[in-house]
Structure 1
Amino acid sequence: MNLASRSIVTGLLFAASTLGYAQLEGSKADTTPVHHPVPAIQDTETPAQRDARMAWWRDARFGMFIHWGLYSIPAGEWNGKRTTHIGEWIMNDLSIPVADYKGFAKDFNPTGFSAHDIVALAKAAGMKYIVITAKHHDGFAMFDSKVDPFNIVAATPFKRDPLKELAEECRKQGVKLGFYYSQSQDWTYPGGGAAVRPGHNQQTGHWDPAQDGSFDDYLKNKSIPQIKELLENYKGFPVVVWFDTPGKNMTPERAAEVVKLLNKYPNLIWNNRLGGTYKGDTETPEQYIPPQGYPGQDWESCMTMNDTWGFKSFDTNFKSTETLLRNLIDIASKGGNYLLNIGPDSKGVVPAPEVERLQQVGKWLDVNGEAIYGTTATVFDVPTGTFSTTEKGRNGQPKFLPTWNWRSTTKGNKVYVEIFDWTGSFHVDKMPRKVTGAYLLADKAHKPLKFTQNGTALDVQLPSKALDPIATVVVLNTTM
């Protein structure tokens, strides 16, 4: 994942600045036209074509991120040292030699992995798509790659391809599947990129001579051929490719070689982290929700359930179901998607607290999903928080402090108001539409609620008790 969007030690912040790929705590995406060596689909398609290509993704609103790999074996600890950072960065953080890290492969036998159960968990949670780490920065491929033997089929006793099994289950259960691929960083293949940090080579980021080599050779001999494998070998998947940490190595000319592959799949969706000035389809704020989203842009907040992406045995700081659900609602109210991470352990088992929370989120969506799926951003011009007068955010500007009274989403003539702070009434000064009726979404009878609309002001009388303590949804039927 992108270093720059986390609060981490000074040395890693320096590394992140070298990678140069932080998302700022703002609401505007750069839309300046750029001339590319090879035009991408985004450079040539019409607005109508883009709308058609992005339609399912915009409707989905909620997806599962899976960070799983060899790093789940050390699980945050190596040689008596515990990393204070995220689990999947342990090789870099603790400067583990290539030979030692590759040695984990002989012990990687995740017999507890069940593609059926993970896809079923995503469905139970109300998630519409899955994105899994096909290869993270450590260079270990979680699929059957003929390009490099450092992969789960050739190098481990497991001998199975989890991506193939997930693809089969996603087809059976009606879930979309995407692949994350670290195209620039690779800490075990000669010439692969690495984040520059104190104690490492300040030009390459390497800490082991086994990492040295030509980046162009790495790109030509491993990265691009593996991306080709991922695009060709999974029978209609991936529908999403999620790139990461391009750094200075991914020049426009180098990125163009990847784009040549992507262009062969005109329905593919890919994010803004390829590099080389290619903007992709989606903005990717990491571990935060932009105050106003990205108006007019497709965007997706990727976030963890605890403090790590890859499994760490001692990270038990799990967010509450309330926090996760309200994040989802907040993101949808701003027109974005929520990509929520799970981190299976070395046996392939999803930690129980993650399972429990996803099941609880799913129960809410079973009742209230109409207010999330296929919706667009709020019609109300109401602040969702304030900017601190004392704290600074990640871009050095005042930190945004959200308030949690209510949010709103929109679908056609319906306006959904997700109320967190239940007071027995709902009031807004400016309602931009005429309201013709109101009811609670969780009320199967849709018993009408009393309301008054005087000018632009709207007041809705609510029952004395909320139907759901986390968020109860009021549906407003409107005319535009």
Structure 2
Amino acid sequence: MKKWILTAVAAAISLTSYAQWKDKEFVLDQDPLVQKKLEEWSDLKLGFFVHWGPYATESLCESWPVVSEDVDWLTPHKDIKSFREHYFNDLPKKFNPTEFDPEKWAQLAEDMGAKYFVFTTKHHDGFTMWDTKQTDYRITNPEYPYASNKNADITKVLFDAMRAKGMMIGAYISKPDWHHPNYWTPSFDTPGRNVNYKIERHPEWWKKFTDFWLGQVTELMTGYGDIDILWLDGAWATKSNRGQDMRMDEVGEISRKHQPGIMIVDRWIGGKWENYRTPEQHVPSESEDKIYWETNMTVGTSFSYRAEETIWKDGREITHKLIDVVAKGGNFLLNLGASPEGWFNPEGVQYVREMGKWLEANGKAIYATRAIAPFAEANVRYTRSKDGNTVYAIVLQEEGENISQITLPGCLAAKNAVIKDVATGKRIKYSRQGNSTLVSLPQKSGVGNFAIALEISSVEKMAGKNYGKSQAQKEAEKRNL
């Protein structure tokens, strides 16, 4: 079977989604349990994201091969109807990941330094990776080969294994479902991603579909332990687009009833049920420290598994992206696609573990920090402790580079400050020059060379703002201006 061709998907979706994201007003949920959860989530900084389903058996892009749309980034199979039948009917019968070990996945998540986990319990193609009672199109269908395996309820065993490592749990689920006969009814052709009939003419079909949808959400909220994040995808399934009312108020009520304080992410829609935002394959060029957000990004070029993947973001690059995201006030959700056997490309595993080794030594400058102006200057990124007393300056180094001395622009250490190498705790020599600080840097090799994290005990000025003074002193300075 010829593979479906995907060209520039990540770039196309990324630019579109980010533009939509920037256009929507962010509304902070007033539920105190949600606000508490958001602050806890903001401490975590790094999440592990996995896309997995029967599409892995042929190294296909997740779900999108079955769509017929005349867009620049999508090149459908020549005989799309025949291919769609093959995709829906044959791939689940081939999907038998006998090497899947949830504890091994959880160990990888810990090795990479992740503190939360988001899993694709169901993508747009409708294949359900848990023991749903709403459809037979599920991993535990007795007609499919993996159904008899002890780990057949993949979502359950993964969530249990990740919780055992102390991770927050995120359940990704798609709002549209291209397999469901009341989303793509066989009565009509299926030209694109949207519902393929007029809802106003067939309201009973739409009700059957949304009843099914609410049933699946309820299953996840009631049968799979503590869920911290309901991560919704498929932004086009919304009331303003062809009347695709997904009954989001009911979704929210069901979720909060069974999972108090759960964060809900209705991607790019804005409003009440978008508790934080998720720009895709994109790090904002400017700081977004006044809202809650995460960049979700792939280590390779695709969210799904590619047996022949050749383009990777190596350990240095993903570490730099993590640092950049955190300095700008966000979290980083990093994705690997799982293979038909139940593991990952060796290159991807190597690179995320390299990042994890860097975090093991330097995580104090990343975890439980907050953004601080000037955020990013040249190859320096800044973070601060939540109490505001400590500033971290992280110097990004390129391969083969070992910077011996650098000026921290916009950061003036106090006269009595102590500056330390975060990784070793050793004191660093420095001098104050104008509104900046000149520091000598330790020479590092291996993953330590990715970036040098410095801890500054007391800062007098950051980007022109005074720090370390009493409120009375600050008020006095204002009066003298």
Pick the TM interval, shorter chain.
Answer: 0.7 to 0.9
| Alignment map for 1:144-159 (pairs within 5 Å) | 144-154=131-141, 155-159=143-147
Pick aligned residue for 1:90 from 65, 70, 73: 65
Alpha-carbon deviation of 1:455? 4.8
1:227 to 195, 204, 217: 217
Q: Give the Cα–Cα distance (whole angstroms) in 1 for the partners of residues 286 and 208 of structure 2.
A: 39
Question: Tell me, what secondary structure is at the counterpart of 2:210?
Answer: helix
Report deviation, 1:131: 0.4
Name the residue aligned to 1:423. Answer: 403
In structure 2, the residue matched to 1:438 is 419
User: In the TM superposition, what is the alpha-carbon distance from 1:270 to its structure 2 partner?
Assistant: 1.8
Residue 293 (structure 1) shift:
3.6
Matched, 1:66 2:47: no
Supply the distance in 2 between the matched residues of 1:465 and 1:110 (Cα, whole angstroms): 41
Q: Report deviation, 1:426.
A: 2.3
Q: How does 1:97-116 map to 2 (within 5 A)?
A: 97-98=84-85, 100-116=87-103
Change in Cα spacing, 1:70 to 1:234, as seen in structure 2 (3 Å) is same
Query: CA 1:450/1:127 → structure 2, altered by over 3 Å: closer, same or farther?
Result: same
- Partner amino acid, structure 2, of 1:53: K
Paired residues in the alignment total: 417
Alignment correspondent of 2:440: 461
After superposition, the Cα gap between the structure-2 partners of 1:188 and 1:464, relative to the gap in structure 1 and judged at 3 Å, is closer
Deviation at 1:218, TM superposition (A): 4.8
Aligned to 1:192: 183
Of 253, 261, 280, the residue aligned with 1:260 is: 253
Q: How does 1:236-385 map to 2 (within 5 A)?
A: 236=226, 238-251=227-240, 254-264=247-257, 265-273=259-267, 275=269, 277-380=271-374, 382-383=376-377
User: CA shift at 1:344, angstroms?
Assistant: 0.8
Q: Report the CA distance between 1:261 and its aligned residue.
A: 1.4
Which structure 2 segments of 5+ residues have no match?
Answer: 1-6, 68-75, 460-467, 469-481
- Give, in whole Å, the separation in 1 of the partners of 2:159 and 2:87: 32
- Considering only aligned residues, what root-mean-square deviation do their CA atoms show, in Å? 3.1
**Normalised TM-score (structure 2):** 0.78
How far apart, in 2, do the equivalents of 1:167 and 1:415 lie?
35
TM score, norm. by length of structure 1: 0.79
C-alpha deviations, 1:9-52, integer Å up to 9, x for none?
9xx96xx79xx9722298x563366xxxxxxxx55425xx5542
1:374/1:347 CA distance change after superposition, 3 Å: same
Q: After alignment, is 463-472 or 353-362 more displaced?
A: 463-472
Unpaired runs of 5+ residues, structure 1, are 1-5, 34-41, 77-85, 385-404
AA aligned opposite 1:296: K
Q: Comparing 123-132 with 95-104, which one deviates more in the overlay?
A: 95-104
Q: Which residue among 8, 13, 18 is the counterpart of 1:23?
A: 18
For the 8 Å contact 1:98–1:187, the answer to whether it is kept is: no
Tell me the percent identity. 27
- For 1:382 and 1:426, the matched residues in 2 are separated by 14
State the distance in 2 between where 1:189 and 1:274 align: 24
User: Do the aligned residues in 1 keep the contact of 2:413 with 2:437 (CA within 8 Å)?
Assistant: no
* Counterparts in 2 of 1:365 and 1:147: CA distance versus 1, 3 Å: same
Q: What SS does the aligned partner of 2:225 have?
A: coil
Retained in 1: the 8 A contact 2:383–2:391?
yes
Which residue identity does 2:104 align to in structure 1?
Answer: D
CA distance in 2, matches of 1:218, 1:192: 9
- Counterpart check, 1:407 vs 2:385: no
Deviations 1:154-210 (A, max 9, x none): 142211101111122123222222110001x2111113269xxxx953694659xxx
Preserved contact between residue 300 and residue 337 of structure 1 (Cα < 8 Å): yes
